[in-house]
Amino acid sequence: SQTIHQWPATLVQPVGSPLSLECTVEGTSNPNLYWYRQAAGRGLQLLFYSVGIGQISSEVPQNLSASRPQDRQFILSSKKLLLSDSGFYLCAWSYVIQDSYEQYFGPGTRLTVT
């Protein structure tokens, strides 16, 4: 079965500090990978998605970036955090199979920028 991991689970960082969040998927190969952010009381906003190693598409202009150094690893980064970067960050994966569009989410990382 497939499993998705995210770490850390919670993080408190000062404004201006760097960020690195990691996501890994087990039990599948060549998945599509996604980063979402969920602000308090709001829906999910897609930040980045990747269909393969080194292939990243950005949905929202911001001071965040994403990388996919390995097939099942997805990293979200920032060089300098802003207060507005606080939120719940979720990684998701989906099968690359025709007509399969379900996405499965990880446990999330709760980021507080102080």
- Positions in the binding site for other proteins (CB under 8 A): 32, 34, 41-46, 49, 51, 59, 88, 90, 94, 99-108, 110
Number of other residues whose CB lies within 10 A of the CB of residue 105: 14
Length of the chain, in residues: 114
The nearer residue to other proteins, 28 or 105, going by C-beta atoms, is 105
Find tokens 């990388």 and name the residue.
67
The nearer residue to other proteins, 79 or 90, going by C-beta atoms, is 90
Helix spans in the chain (H):
none
CB of 24 to other proteins, least distance (A): 14
d(CA 42, CA 101): 23
CB of 15 to other proteins, least distance (A): 23
CB of 80 to other proteins, least distance (A): 27
